[in-house]
Amino acid sequence: MHGDHFRIWVSDDLRPEEIELEGRSTGLQWFLSFYLLFLVESKDAHEGADIGGTVQSRSDPKIYVVQTGASVIERCLLMTTDPGDLVIDPTCGSGTSAYVAEEWGRRWITCDTSRVAVTLDISRRDLIVGGGAMVAAFGLPMPLLADQPSPASTPAPHGDSQGENLMNVITATDGTKIYFKDWGTGQPVVFSHGWPLTADAWDSQMLFLGEKGYRVIAHDRRGHGRSSQSWNGNEMDTYADDLAKLIETLDLKNATLVGHSTGGGEVARYIGRHGSKRVSKAVLIASVPPLMLKTKNNPGGLPISVFDQIRASVVADRSQFFKDLSLPFYGYNRSGAKTSQGVRDSFWLQGMQASIKGAYDCIKAFSETDQTEDLKKFDVPTLILQGDDDQIVPLADSGLLQSKLIRDATLKVYPGAPHGLCTTHADQVNADLLTFLKS
């Protein structure tokens, strides 16, 4: 926001094409996106605005704007009539957005806060005047025009304006953009998700603990979800360094680190590389350390052929593989299990947001990284949660060994629980987390 004008920045770099919208709130940015469409659909407005060479090269350009989410994207793509039409994702861009757009044969634009070329100012009066037409055309609620406080790029450790917004991105040391959620106030609890998921896998825990007075933070690992799809750095050292960058950027102190599956490896490597000076407690849930791969020193591990098959499945048809993997992940392949198609769909959707490179590389990271020494460096109270029917990360070679390697760790085994127990046994996991945090 600059004075009484909402500034829209448009890059003239045609490869890749990018756009950034800067407004007063996420909701208002969404509205401004549609208002941009309203402007360029107007001949006079289009002729008076420099919105990029590719757009101007078409005699009747159309710009469509969507929010991330496959169903929303598809509904908006139904509006498009020409493969040359532009589709804008103002939410930092996701793998899902690009995937769906590609399936529909449409050109795609995502946000990039580091590239700015052309400025188009829209006055508040024009916004309100145009807003009437937009509300009529799209049925948008008028409260979106309300004056709202601007979220900070680095969320403050207090206040109710935290949560998902376009600025919730940090830049790793190699330039990779790491997306994160930051909700609530109080003592920080930082979550690291499993493969091939995103921060959304923690929604049940984040909502529960946020309502109990904790500040809950979760990021999308590089190559996953809404974070950058980096070619390099998809290994445990860099994952841990990205987590350290997040913790340092937000200046978190006395944080509790919670990791599930691969995320548990990320937490362990963080403590191994960066120590526990900012950490008060740790929780490992169905986590991969110390080592999943069968070796001479780890005879209880899984043979390399298991992970080679996972890699081959990701390359051949990762979409179908993620659908199939959701069954044992949540124990839905067990006799008498109550299957949730919604949970399976969410698993697939999160998996498809990962880049194929990030998903592929991460298999080596979670299976072949020996974290025995990392676990020995734990010097904070640690809770270990795992089901005894974990078909993805066997309990005997993970949770049981962790409890022996980590000093004074507490192991709690859930009878019959699968790998995805944060979802299938969410109430029990939430209660145990709360008890541990209060202890």
Enumerate the active-site residues.
261, 390, 419
- How far apart, in whole angstroms, are the C-alpha atoms of residue 207 and residue 121? 38
CA dist 309 → 295, 315, 316 (Å): 18, 10, 10
What is the sign, positive or negative, of the torsion defined by CA atoms of 297, 302, 306, 307?
Answer: negative
Strands 177-183, 215-219: pairing kind: antiparallel
End-to-end CA distance of the chain: 44
- How far apart, in whole angstroms, are the C-alpha atoms of residue 66 and residue 93? 10
Contact between residue 201 and residue 267 where contact means Cβ atoms under 8 Å apart: no
Q: How many CB atoms lie within 10 A of CB 182?
A: 24
- How far apart, in whole angstroms, are the C-alpha atoms of residue 96 and residue 226? 9
Contact between residue 10 and residue 117 where contact means Cβ atoms under 8 Å apart: yes
Strands 279-285, 255-260: pairing kind: parallel
| 239: three-class secondary structure by DSSP | helix
- How far apart, in whole angstroms, are the C-alpha atoms of residue 242 and residue 171? 9
Q: How many CB atoms lie within 10 A of CB 385?
A: 27
> Percent helix, strand and coil across the chain, each rounded to 5?
40, 15, 40
Long-range CB pairs of 65-70 (<8 Å, 24+ gap) are 65/30, 65/33, 65/34, 65/36, 65/37, 65/89, 65/90, 66/97, 67/30, 67/91, 68/93, 68/94, 68/96, 68/97, 68/226, 69/96, 70/96, 70/100, 70/349
- How far apart, in whole angstroms, are the C-alpha atoms of residue 271 and residue 188? 16
